[in-house]
Amino acid sequence: MLIMKAGNPLKSKIEALIVPVCEDKNIYVDKEIIDIITSVKKLKEFSGKASDEIILYDLPGVSAKRVIFAGLGKIGEVNAETLRILAGQIVKKCIGKELKRIAFITPDSKKLKIDFQVVGKSILEGACLGNFIFDKYISDKKSKILEKIELFVDAKDLKKNKGLDLQVETICSGAHLAREWVSNPSNAKTPEKYVETLKDVFKNSDIKYSVLKEDKLKKMGCGALLSVAKGSSSSAFIAIADYNPKNAKKTIALVGKGVTFDAGGLDLKSAEGMRTMKCDMAGSATGGATLHAIGILKPDIRVIGIMPIVENMPSGDALRPGDIVQSLCGKTIEIGNTDAEGRLILADALSYTEKNYKPDVIIDVATLTGACVVALGEKIAGVFSYNEKLAQKIVKSGTNTGERCWQMPMPDDYKKLLKSEFADISNMASGKWGGSITAALFLSEFVNNKNWAHIDIAGPAFSMKPGEYCTPGGTGFGVRLLCDYLIG
C-alpha cells in the first residue's frame, strides 16, 4: 500500500525512515531534519553522493527504528528519474532486510527547483515499482514485498495533490501485472491460457472483455493472423478489452502483439535468439495492463485494447517461406520469413480495429524487431508515425515517465524493399538494413487512420539483468508511458 501523508516524520514509529540527501546543498526546510543531516554528513562514510547510503539505528529524537540516509548526488543532477532510482533501490534493500513498513521524507520541491507533482510522484513511483518480486515458481520463497510505504509531504502539497498516491499505485500495479505476464513461462501462458488470465483480470471491472476464436477469425478472413498459429498446437485468438464510459469524448485503440512464444517458425531462431522469446507477448501485456489501470482510473475516453494472441512454432503444419496468405483487408502477403510473424498478426489486428471501432487514435505496441534493439539499445523504444504531433506526444510521455522513446523515420522510398514478385507485399524486406523501419512501413500498409503510431519495444520489454527499480524478467515497459499519454 502506498500512502502520502502529512505530519512529523521524526515521530513516526516505523521500521525505517528514508531521508534523501544531496551532496552539495541542503534540500529541507525543517530545522530538526537539517540538523540531523548536518551531523551525519560529518561522518566520513556518507557525503550524499548518488547511491551513497548509511543506516543509523535508534537516533535520539527519531521514533523510527532506523534512519536510512540515501545520496541523491548534486542538486543540479536531481530529476524525476534519479528520484525514482533512489526510491526503487531503497525499497529493494528494505525487502532484503525483511522490513514491512517504511516511510520516505520528501525533499522541499522549491529547494530542488522541481514541481512537487514531479518530486512526490517520482518517489512514489520508484518505491512502488521497486516493491515487486516474481517468485511464483520458487519453492523456497525467501523474501516478501513491503506491506506499506509512506511518503511524508507538506500538508499544503497533500491537499493540492489528493489521490496522487492511489493514482501512482494503480498505474504501477498495471506495470506489475505486465511484468508478471511477460515473466511467466510460455508453457504457462499458451494462447488458450493467456486469454483466460486476461479474462480473470477484467472480471468485476468496468471493462467488457471478449475473445474472438479461430472459427470467427476464419469467417472474418484473418488469414495473416491465422497463418502464424498454424505450426502451433494452440489456436489463434483476438482478445478485446473495451473501456467505454458514457461520457467518452474520443476513442483510443491500443493494439498489442501477443506472441506467447516466438520460436521463429520454420525459419527457426538460434538457441540464443529463442531463449528470451517468452517476452514476445509484451505488447499485448502492455495493452492489457494499461486497460486494467484505465478501468480503475476511469478517464472520459473510450480505450480499447486489441490483443492478437498466437504462438509461433515450427511443425509439419507450419507456415512456409514462400507461402502467400490473404490478410483481413484483402491484401495478399508473401511470406519471406516466418520469423517476421509479429507484423502478420498486427496487420489483421489493425484492420479489425479500424473497421470495427473507427478509433480517433490507434497506437500499436510490439516487440517487433531485433533491428530496433540494434538501433536504440535495451532501454529505448522506437516510435514510428506519419503524425508528427502524435509521435512527439508519445516521446514526451516517455520523458515524463522515464520510459524513453525515440522517434524513427518512415521514409516512403524504403517501401520498395517490401515488394513481392508474387503477392501485394512481402513480410520480409529485401535489404539487410533498417529492419525496424521496414517493419513499421509494412504495418502502415494496413492502416488508413492518419492518427496511428507504432511503438517497437523489443529492447526495453524484457531484461535478464535487474534494473534500478525492476527485477530480471518483464519490465512492464509501456504501461506508465501509455497511461501518461492517455490521462497526462
Indicate which residues carry an active-site annotation: 269, 343
Whose CB is nearest to ligand BES?
A: 370
Stretch that binds ligand BES, among 2-10, 240-248, 334-342, 355-363 (CB under 6 A): 334-342
From CA 289, how far away is CA 304, in angstroms rounded? 12
The position carrying cell 516478501 is 144
- Kindly state whether residue 458 participates in binding ligand BES, applying the rule CB under 6 A: yes
How many Cβ atoms are within 10 Å of 488's Cβ, its own excluded?
10
- Kindly state whether residue 369 participates in binding ligand BES, applying the rule CB under 6 A: yes
> Which triple of cell numbers denotes residue 297?
482510473
From CA 383, how far away is CA 481, in angstroms rounded? 12
Residue nearer to ligand BES on the CB measure, 175 or 373: 373
| Interface pick for ligand BES out of 68, 373, 391, 394 (rule CB under 6 A) | 373
- Kindly state whether residue 435 participates in binding ligand BES, applying the rule CB under 6 A: yes
| Interface pick for ligand BES out of 169, 280, 403, 484 (rule CB under 6 A) | 280
- Kindly state whether residue 428 participates in binding ligand BES, applying the rule CB under 6 A: yes
Q: Are 107 and 100 in contact (CB under 8 A)?
A: no
Q: Which does 369 bind (CB under 5 to 8 A by kind): Zn ion, ligand BES, none?
A: ligand BES
Q: Are 244 and 208 in contact (CB under 8 A)?
A: yes
The position carrying cell 517487433 is 368
Residue nearer to ligand BES on the CB measure, 263 or 291: 263
From CA 310, how far away is CA 256, in angstroms rounded? 12
How many residues form the binding site for ligand BES (CB under 6 A)? 16
Residue nearer to ligand BES on the CB measure, 238 or 373: 373
Residue nearer to ligand BES on the CB measure, 106 or 436: 436
From CA 77, how far away is CA 89, in angstroms rounded? 17
From CA 453, how far away is CA 387, in angstroms rounded? 8
How near is the Cβ of 374 to ligand BES at its closest, in Å?
9
| Interface pick for Zn ion out of 342, 402, 474, 478 (rule CB under 5 A) | 342
Q: Are 335 and 258 in contact (CB under 8 A)?
A: no
- Kindly state whether residue 420 participates in binding ligand BES, applying the rule CB under 6 A: no
Stretch that binds Zn ion, among 92-100, 113-121, 257-265, 394-402 (CB under 5 A): 257-265
How many Cβ atoms are within 10 Å of 423's Cβ, its own excluded?
18
| Interface pick for ligand BES out of 108, 157, 180, 341 (rule CB under 6 A) | 341
| Interface pick for ligand BES out of 161, 197, 251, 337 (rule CB under 6 A) | 337
Stretch that binds ligand BES, among 136-144, 232-240, 338-346, 353-361 (CB under 6 A): 338-346
How near is the Cβ of 262 to ligand BES at its closest, in Å?
4
Q: Which does 131 bind (CB under 5 to 8 A by kind): ligand BES, Zn ion, none?
A: none
Residue nearer to ligand BES on the CB measure, 203 or 465: 465
Residue nearer to ligand BES on the CB measure, 157 or 341: 341
How near is the Cβ of 117 to ligand BES at its closest, in Å?
34
Note the helical H segments in 59-202: 80-96, 109-112, 116-130, 155-160, 164-183, 191-202
Stretch that binds ligand BES, among 78-86, 154-162, 340-348, 375-383 (CB under 6 A): 340-348
- C-alpha closest to that of 74 among 20, 154, 125, 35: 20
Stretch that binds ligand BES, among 43-51, 74-82, 189-197, 370-378 (CB under 6 A): 370-378
From CA 91, how far away is CA 18, in angstroms rounded? 10
> Which pairing describes strands 361-366 and 251-256: parallel, antiparallel, or unpaired?
parallel
| Interface pick for Zn ion out of 150, 165, 262, 354 (rule CB under 5 A) | 262
From CA 324, how far away is CA 320, in angstroms rounded? 9
> Which triple of cell numbers denotes residue 96?
532484503
How many Cβ atoms are within 10 Å of 163's Cβ, its own excluded?
10
How near is the Cβ of 376 to Zn ion at its closest, in Å?
17
Residue nearer to ligand BES on the CB measure, 36 or 376: 376
From CA 278, how far away is CA 275, in angstroms rounded? 8
10 Å CB burial of residue 141 (0-12, 13-18, 19+) is exposed
- Kindly state whether residue 258 participates in binding ligand BES, applying the rule CB under 6 A: no
- Kindly state whether residue 311 participates in binding Zn ion, applying the rule CB under 5 A: no
From CA 166, how far away is CA 297, in angstroms rounded? 9
- Kindly state whether residue 262 participates in binding ligand BES, applying the rule CB under 6 A: yes
- Kindly state whether residue 484 participates in binding Zn ion, applying the rule CB under 5 A: no
Which helix (H) or strand (E) element contains residue 41?
helix 31-41
CA dihedral 374, 444, 277, 482 (to 10 degrees): 90
Q: Are 23 and 71 in contact (CB under 8 A)?
A: yes
Residue nearer to ligand BES on the CB measure, 64 or 335: 335
Beta-bridge partner residues of 67 = 17, 56
Residue type, 70: A
Stretch that binds ligand BES, among 57-65, 86-94, 103-111, 335-343 (CB under 6 A): 335-343
| Interface pick for Zn ion out of 180, 242, 339, 456 (rule CB under 5 A) | 339
Beta-bridge partner residues of 242 = 208, 304
Q: Which does 435 bind (CB under 5 to 8 A by kind): Zn ion, ligand BES, none?
A: ligand BES
Instruction: Return residues touching ligand BES (CB under 6 A).
Output: 262, 280, 337, 339-342, 367-371, 373, 428, 435, 458
